[in-house]
Amino acid sequence: MKITVLMGGTSSERNVSLASGIRIVQALRGRGHKVTALDPARGVISAGEERELSTGSVGTEPPSLEALSRFAEGTFLPNLTSMKEIKDADVAFLALHGGQGEDGTIQALLDMAHVKYTGSGHLSCALAMDKDLSKKLFRVEEVKTADWLMAPASIEQVEGMLGLPVVVKPSKEGSTVGLSLVKKREDLIPAIQEASKYDDEVMIERFVPGRELTVGILGNIALPVGEIIPKHEIYDYECKYTAGMAVEEFPAKLSREATEKVQQQALTAFKALKLRGYARIDFRLTGEGEFYCLEANTLPGMTELSLIPQGAAAMGIGFPELCERIVKLALE
């Protein structure tokens, strides 16, 4: 098949996307497919650039907003669907994370151009990216999620409704970019200001202490549950993308009953947002045995340290096979 992998882009998760994308390119070529790597911000990625990216390095921090603005100036996005690399492809494999690659924008463009692509549709991506809306839909389907407020909110409102500590984060971002754990009253406003750099809406969410769990969904199957044990208090950007900064256990050490319960909650969350193809649903497990859904990731990371490939591997699905299965789901 002719497959074009879209990677890079202009979001704060650009570096993660490039690391994901180059792995996918190599895996699909290894399965005999004709694969083109395409960055919506810069065009077709050359063989030399591919070799540089093959190190898979992400870095301990996201790229600066100034650097991202320079990439945005050269974006091919308005003309993307007229490019032969897109028009001639049997399928576009979306390895874009965050921003217009995951919020439904590119999905809508590809829909209008009648181009098949991996992952969820434009409406589902928009719902999942907006944490405020997705949490409301989770509650309708009886998927537990922590209480929250949307900024602006006073410290009195936060303490009265949520208590401290709270998590402050951009409502439409991923990879914990712009996220802060607020334990002291005086830290709330600076945390909101930091999150506001990345999004026009900021969520203030009750912090749920407990174990960090994740469930990958592939088609209509829940993959083995994973547990993440980060070196930092929260599973932040550095812990996610730096080797040795977190321990991931697949399958997680849970009872059969707990495993089945969280897998079912993940499938319910997947369906609540009308997702398709594949996704990753993240949870917290409290000491009392309650699962709280944190969010759904419609284009989860596919780097060497990413979670959904580890979940698939625990089920006996190697990375090249996982990528090919995702392509086949897009073609169904």
pLDDT at residue 53 tops 90: no
Mean pLDDT of 229-249: 76
**Catalytic, out of 178, 295, 311, 324:** 295
Q: Determine the Cα–Cα distance for residues 26 and 56; give it in Å rounded to an integer.
A: 12
pLDDT for 56: 67
Cβ atoms 279, 270 nearer than 8 A: yes
Known catalytic membership, residue 282: yes
Known catalytic membership, residue 61: no
Note whether 2-119 and 128-144+209-331 share their fold: no
Known catalytic membership, residue 103: no
Cβ atoms 307, 214 nearer than 8 A: yes
Burial class (CB in 10 A: 0-12, 13-18, 19+), 264: middle
Please state the pTM of the whole predicted model: 0.90
CATH topology of domain 148-206: Dna Ligase; domain 1 (3.30.1490)
Q: Within 13 Å of residue 153, how many CA atoms lie on the same side as its CB?
A: 24
Mean pLDDT of 224-253: 82
Known catalytic membership, residue 301: yes
Question: What kind of architecture, by CATH, is found in domain 128-144+209-331?
Answer: 2-Layer Sandwich (3.30)
Known catalytic membership, residue 278: no
The pLDDT tens digits of the residues spanning 187-235 come to 999 999 999 988 899 999 999 999 999 999 999 999 999 999 977 767 7
Known catalytic membership, residue 235: no
What ranges do the domains of the chain cover? 2-119, 128-144+209-331, 148-206
Q: Determine the Cα–Cα distance for residues 232 and 130; give it in Å rounded to an integer.
A: 26
Average pLDDT, the chain: 91
Consecutive H or E run containing 111: helix 105-112
CATH of 2-119 among 3.40.50.20, 3.30.470.20, 1.10.3720.10, 3.20.20.80:
3.40.50.20
The pLDDT tens digits of the residues spanning 70-102 come to 655 556 666 788 889 999 999 999 999 888 889
